[in-house]
Structure 1
């Protein structure tokens, strides 16, 4: 669905008092069904925490295919009793475990909700950080926040809707990828099912973690792209006393230095970051097959023949991505004397999720829920403060909202800690929001 179409779905007067889903009286309260949803989330809180512990204690590092499959089975066991048809889609062609796709029909004409999460974590089987440890209303564990906490919020919201009688009318598709933390290759294969689901959907809701800033919950309506690049420079090798001569030129390392210095000077613009993550140079230099390690050989009295560097850049729109890529290519092409250089861009980049009016409309709808729950409104998070994610693959087809999962800190590192109490408010928000969106004409 286009952004314009979503605004029509939500009502062109979304911010006006007449918006159908937003009570207008100053003392607006939750409906009877919404109160029931909130009570159900509270009543099932310990059940949700117990499920989170079960999910966390099963390792599902991206490359632990058996572990990812087992977490998928656990989620299937929760979703089927809610009326979902669940399918496991193997991803052998992308060298990954697979994805879990669950669908449920709703009333005729109901808006299609796409719920996004992921089964895998960054913690592989050899990580020393493996178990869930509860400490009052917090818990440590691999993936406790990212994204097993998010999946628990999703399930708690759906169970609350079922208890209140609103789930039966909702048209829902759930996409739980098995490789969000390390996408399979080729990415066109690894994300084909997600992209197809986005084209079917009217709204996309991403259950990755809730962002908090200065103690306040934030709404996320944008995510930047993630684009990887590799530069290889070459020069004419010889005795170091001949460097910079007309015959031998600047050498490969100086050419690489010129390029990276020009990036720093010429690329900066709003919402862009760029980084060089690994570099090597000398008489010989090369990256390994995974491009995470480098080898090099050389001596101080030899002009370096080869240098290689790899990094990324992140943008807020496809147009910005194209513009930055063209600038980088032009900088690389302006070779220093006696050198050559080439830049390549990985085909498996994550696209940007731009902050569209439709995404803002969804945040406004969520803030209407917050108002009726007695919670503070959520401002839009600066996209510089959030990384890339799966929802970006559907952002060109459907408007979306990010951050419906749990609040956590220290994600992707030993000691990752989830705020268990955030399950309550996030599941209530999600259940009420999904119910209201499903009821919209």
Structure 2
């Protein structure tokens, strides 16, 4: 339960009081006078515990404000209660490092020279030079290792660059609309409809219905009256078209801004939604401009797509050409008949008994989704097909029935996992 500071503004004859947020105009409302502490008056500020409902805030309890103190909070140091010296000094006994009764330097041998004729200072110097030379050798070796590893990485990157270059074009940019028009539409709603508008903006009419049902379930468990679902749904259906238009307006502006790089699927979805969402002159004009720009881009990408299919066929990259042919930018505009004949002949010539079975599976998988999947007749089959190849043929048997029959496989659809669709806002 959120807690806010409120100010009492007036009292009514029926025993209820009006309130508003302390120091602000909103939120405000009424409360039951039985919740007030004794001696409450207009202008008093209290702490209130609230519950959020669709029709606004409801105050469930009132508390007195915390009393302030002018004196600072102090901590009292008690101590141990014993009188002890503040500083304790302990001196080390003489001859601590040697035997009892002897001084640390009571040996007969002089401490400055050693048997080898070198004093300690010279020995330390020689040891330091040796360690420094060893360290320099180690640093040289480590630097050589680093250089060698960097050369290996550079050679590896040089050999890997052609493969990365042939992976295909990058994924297109997805549509990321702003919420300018949606926020303006929500702000234009009356205050009592703000919460309903936010629910509609997130989940549409189904989301509003689910929210009301969840609140009615909680009210039923608490023994409180339920909210009429049909009334709120009718109210939501009245304000939902304006929110839908505002949301489409945001998406259309973002699509027009990124018309050259946004995914075509997102652009098409915005254009299709304009038939029902574009209601004003401004949105209709925006929809018309978006259609023109989309048609221009689709024509350009369709031409580039056909040129790329031709170039990949010329270079002998049959798998790439087959996969490209299955993804035309313009729906209902396949390759010309001459290019389809070339594609089918190249696929037939690639499926022989001399290639590996992995290559066979890769090509037949690409053929299954291409526009020539019913025209492909392999020039040769593997002598002893492995189970992995047969599994691929079974999976695509409905798309290449003639190829599947040549392996003795009866075409059959594959099982697909059925997942429930999520409710959409539109």
TM-score per shorter chain, which class? under 0.3
More helix, by proportion? 2
TM-score by length of 1: 0.19
Higher relative CO (CA 8 A, sep ≥ 6), structure 1 or 2? 1
TM-score by length of 2: 0.19
Choose 1 or 2 for highest CA Rg.
Answer: 2
